[in-house]
Chain A
């Protein structure tokens, strides 16, 4: 079974600074990888996903992530953050499941706190 590790529970950063949110996964098979963002009291919104092809994936709101198969990582980056990026960020991997449907396995989340 897959698992996802987000080592940083909280990442404080100043506005306009770059940020990297780390995500590592464990799996014995090929996987699909996702980053979701959750604003306070809201549902999850997809930022970006890796299915295949280029290992650098660009998403919404200026975020990007790089899939590194050898290090089993899928770190999320943004070169310059805004106050509005303050939210909880979840990395997820798709578990094939017995019949091939997308059963998402989530990490515990990283809270990004952007201050002026």
Chain B
């Protein structure tokens, strides 16, 4: 009974490199949410996706960040040309139907460190 899977758990990148974070939702879930947790802060919403669609990306930085959730395979959060300020924990959550009262189930997160 796998929960939300995220990999890698830890990722180290040098400034200017690309970071790819993967999220596999719980079985039967087709709605994925990405959140970012900066040091000593709470989680901030980034983007909400359904299969093959971005529903809301109002929390995503306008440049360098992109997300996708293809028909097959995991959801990907991609950060191009990383900078030190991108160092954070990135959490993915999933829900079955995306309804307002549903519980979002969180993965263990990917901790990105930019050197």
A residues engaging B (CB < 8 A)? 4, 6, 32, 36, 41-46, 49, 51, 90, 92, 94-109
What interface size band does chain B fall in?
A: 20 to 34
Chain A residue with minimal CB distance to B109?
Answer: A43
CA distance A100 to B56 in the complex (A): 11
Q: In the complex, are the beta carbons of B56 and A108 less than 8 A apart?
A: no
Q: In the complex, are the beta carbons of A102 and B108 less than 8 A apart?
A: no
Q: In the complex, are the beta carbons of B42 and A51 less than 8 A apart?
A: no
Q: In the complex, are the beta carbons of A43 and B91 less than 8 A apart?
A: yes
How far apart are B29's CB and chain A's nearest CB, in angstroms?
13
Q: Which residue of B4, B99, B107 is within 8 Å of A102 (Cβ)? A: B99
CA distance A105 to B107 in the complex (A): 17
Q: A32-B100, A32-B101 are in contact. Are A90 and B4 (CB under 8 A)?
A: no
Chain A residue with minimal CB distance to B56?
Answer: A97
Q: In the complex, are the beta carbons of A102 and B42 less than 8 A apart?
A: no
